[in-house]
A = this chain, B = another copy of it.
Amino acid sequence: MKLEVLTKSENKEVQKEIISKIRDLIDFKNLEPGDKLPSERMLSEKFGVSRSSLREAIQRLEFYGLLKSRPQSGTFIADIGPIAMKGMLKDILELESPDFKSLVETRILLELKTCRLAALRRTEEDLEHMKEALDAFSAKVNNGEDAVQEDLLFHLSIAKASGNSSMNTFMLIITPEIITNFEKYHVCNVNRAALGIQEHNDIYEAIKNQDPTLAKEKMKVHFKMLYEYCYNIE
């Protein structure tokens, strides 16, 4: 019975251990898709961890789509097959938290696509949202203030207009870390911000005119500096 308070990182290690034990259990008991896992009480006792910790681990695996728990019934193995299950569990356990370079690289990839899709699919409502974000950005910059947040929100409005909820979700996931890293490394300087208004406007106009190729091109221009920065980090 653990009594010391665990730090956040230690807690994550415990979670990984639990996931690892769940993997061993699935492996050892040869549990197949649709099979029911032992109850939470039984597992928490068997693993020697608290039920809350176990529940958190299960929730994480549920997030990755590997488990599915149903109220008053049990926790079940997802219908993805035992081989995929085993492989994915291994990958999840080995997963490391993303570095800044990965984040920027992924952001550029996503945005070159979302702005293209946005040009193809944007609704009038999407356009309005984008315009609002664009104006907020311009106002801040013209006032000489820092506008990293407004910048990112404009880009998020494009992601939303892309009509692809996966990419939209992924943009939402990486944006906060991008912001904190930007502010840490001072990636955005004020001189570029003024230029940024024009670039944002170009992107907006391209999407408004439903020109996907131009939109992507303008986004590429907008990312030029960031792109070079990203590939010179290491």
Contact = CB atoms under 8 A, between A and B. Distances in A.
Interface of A: 5-8, 63-66, 70-72, 78-84, 87-88, 91-92, 94-99, 102-103, 105-106, 109-110, 113, 117, 133, 136, 148-150, 152-153, 156, 160, 163-170, 172-177, 179-180, 183
Q: Which interface residue of A92, A136, A170, A177 has the most chain B CB atoms within 10 A?
A: A170
B72 A170 contact: no
Number of copies: 2
Given A65-B173, A165-B99, A170-B170, A148 B91 contact: no
Contact of A80 (B71, B113, B179): B179
A65 B177 contact: yes
Given A95-B165, A165-B99, A176 B78 contact: yes
Nearest to A11: B71
A164 B174 CA distance: 13
